Amino acid sequence: MRNAALQPFIKKFINFDILRSWQFYIIFHKWQSFYLRLQCGFVSVHQRKRREAKKIARERIDILFKMAERMAEIGEEALADRYVALILEISKKYRIRLPTSIKRRICKKCRCFIVPGRNARVRVKKGRVIIYCQKCGRIKRIPFK
């Protein structure tokens, strides 16, 4: 009884020709196979290579950041800035987000390595850390609790 009452409503909103077509079955089959691969944890070779490349890129970013810190301690600011440029290039190429610990040590405007006391002034005011880059004059405000 219910089916008979709903039949005109269903026919009005669902086109049964599409459901019977071969295109629907192909789309449904692709979706179903994709869903099964996700459940089983199947990863394609391309995805595996991309993951490995990103892992290597993260390691390189860490190494370059440590080298930039060392060069800044010695006084080689130009070399530290070059390492920062390489870090930014690698993160763009492999679409890797930089950790906040690295982001806060890089000026967004002039892309130099920030060393508090040497090329940056750091102040704490009204619940914020204010970093002033002395090369370009950019001010970075970081809230804290």
Give the domain range for residue 68. Answer: 45-143
Q: Please say if the pLDDT value at position 53 is more than 70.
A: yes
Let me know if residue 21 belongs to a domain. no
| Residue closest to 42 by CA, chosen among 50, 31, 33, 29 | 33
- CB contact set of 130 (below 8 Å; sequence gap of 6+): 122, 123, 124, 139, 140, 141, 142
Q: Which two tokens stand for residue 103?
A: 């982001």
Let me know if residue 75 belongs to a domain. yes
Question: What's the mean per-residue pLDDT of the chain?
Answer: 83
Task: Grade residue 1 by pLDDT with cuts at 50, 70 and 90.
Answer: very low
pLDDT digits (tens, 9 = 90+) for 61-70: 999 999 999 9
pTM exceeds 0.75 for this model: no
Q: Please say if the pLDDT value at position 18 is more than 70.
A: no
The structural domain count of the chain equals 1
Let me know if residue 82 belongs to a domain. yes
What's the chain's Rg over C-alpha atoms? 27
pLDDT digits (tens, 9 = 90+) for 85-136: 999 999 999 999 999 999 999 999 999 999 999 999 999 999 999 999 999 9
- Give the integer Cα–Cα distance in Å for 96 and 79: 23
CA angle 79, 85, 87 (to 5 degrees): 105
Let me know if residue 64 belongs to a domain. yes
Let me know if residue 96 belongs to a domain. yes
> Regarding predicted confidence, which is higher, 130 or 5?
130
* CATH code, domain with 96: 1.20.5.420
Strand order in the sheet with 139-143: 120-125, 128-133, 139-143
Q: Please say if the pLDDT value at position 43 is more than 70.
A: no
Let me know if residue 12 belongs to a domain. no
Let me know if residue 14 belongs to a domain. no
Q: Please say if the pLDDT value at position 143 is more than 60.
A: yes
